[in-house]
Amino acid sequence: MKQVSTVLLGLGRIAWMLEKDRLRYHPCTHAGSLKNPGMRKNPFHLVGACDLIQERLYDFSSYWKKPLLLSRKPSEVLALRPDLAVIAASLPSHFELVRAAQKSGVHSIVLEKPPAANLKEATRLLTLCDQTNVWVNFERRYHPGYRRVKDIIDSKVLGEMRSIRGRVLVGGSPGAGEAGPLLHDAIHWIDLLLWFAGKPARAFARMMRNTPDAGEHTAFATFEFSDFNAVLESGGRRKYFEFEMEIDFAAGRIYCGNNGFRMEVSKPSRKYSRFNELRTAKPLLKKTQNPWQNLYQEVASVSSGETTTIHSSLASAVEAMKVIQMLEKNQR
């Protein structure tokens, strides 16, 4: 596997700062994954990093501890003509940074979610990057738990899906001109919904806002499929974070999210004759894998020309943004 020269644009929480969180599994950021992609030989060679805030450059230099170009100007870092650009800067800058990376001649881009501030920009990125490998950081697609759920759905071992319920609960209320948690947080859940169930025929939502020009602080969304529905509460002004999905099948149920993975199957009831009830089955996961490392192993493989498979493509991210636009248009 060839060496992949890499630059990191943006040095905030998801770029590297969360590596300081002792409670998280590691690596849990882009820089952490570039430093430790879980491979026998690390193919990534970070040659430059950029952030508008000077203090972040100093802090990152202490974390990385290897020589590299640090600059407040993306153009200076991209002038190194890297193979890979990792874009973890603020959302409003995504489009221009992708375009600048394209002009510098990069072959691959890892782009933090959501890919753009709105669907129009995201669609333009799709056209702009038609000859470039682009990953959007939906890391749950690389988590062994969610991959196991996908395998169970495809195998139909529990029968057909009958309903899906979900919660992506966060605190705070967006101000004027700010996007709400549907785009910033629940887009992960919607991406999983599309991966597991495909595109809904219809989708609508009740959006709650503090002012008409502010992003929603709460959304109650319904997604209609051919023979079942999915529902999601997003935002909700909670004093806690929760990311959960419950999938009901004809013969069982799966719980998946930040509280872990659990499967229940239909068995003869111990309480009532001639009835079935749900009982907890064997654990879904026999061993754990780091989703960030799985993502960057795929990036390394594709960047070296060994495979063309991209499990979190820009195209799939655009589809998730189309669903969010559907919810915004069909408010009830």
Structure-token pair, residue 312: 């979190």
Closest of 39, 24, 6 to residue 295, by C-alpha: 39
Whether CATH 3.40.50.720 fits 4-140+291-313: yes
Task: Compute the distance between CA of residue 253 and CA of residue 243 in angstroms, rounded to an integer.
Answer: 17
pLDDT reading at 113 higher than 90: yes
Closest of 257, 233, 292 to residue 34, by C-alpha: 292
- Which CATH superfamily hosts domain 144-288? Dihydrodipicolinate Reductase; domain 2 (3.30.360.10)
Task: Compute the distance between CA of residue 246 and CA of residue 249 in angstroms, rounded to an integer.
Answer: 10
Q: What is the pLDDT of residues 220-276, one digit of tens each?
A: 999 999 999 999 999 999 999 999 999 999 999 999 999 999 999 999 999 999 999
* Residue-level pLDDT at 287: 75
Q: How many alpha carbons fall within 13 Å on the CB side of residue 41? A: 6
Task: Compute the distance between CA of residue 329 and CA of residue 332 in angstroms, rounded to an integer.
Answer: 9
Phi and psi torsions of 57, nearest 5°: -65, -45
Which runs of consecutive H residues, i.e. helices, occur in the chain?
Answer: 30-35, 54-64, 74-78, 94-104, 119-128, 144-155, 181-184, 187-197, 291-303, 314-329
* Entry field: residues in the chain: 332
Q: What is the pLDDT of residues 115-130, one digit of tens each?
A: 999 999 999 999 999 9
Q: How many alpha carbons fall within 13 Å on the CB side of residue 186? A: 29
Q: What is the pLDDT of residues 265-316, one digit of tens each?
A: 999 999 999 999 999 988 888 777 899 999 999 999 999 888 889 999 999 9
Mean of the per-residue pLDDT values of the chain: 96
* Residue-level pLDDT at 304: 86
Residue with tokens 């999915």: 230
Task: Quickly list DSSP for 297-312.
Answer: HHHHHHHTTS----TT
* Residue-level pLDDT at 199: 97
Percent of the chain with pLDDT over 90: 92
Task: Compute the distance between CA of residue 62 and CA of residue 151 in angstroms, rounded to an integer.
Answer: 42
Domain ranges in the chain are 4-140+291-313, 144-288
Structure-token pair, residue 95: 């489009």
Average pLDDT over residues 58-71: 97
Q: What is the pLDDT of residues 162-191, one digit of tens each?
A: 999 999 999 888 988 888 999 999 999 999
* Residue-level pLDDT at 49: 98
pLDDT reading at 203 higher than 90: yes
pLDDT reading at 1 higher than 80: no
Using a cut of 0.85, tell me whether the model's pTM lies above it: yes
pLDDT reading at 15 higher than 80: yes
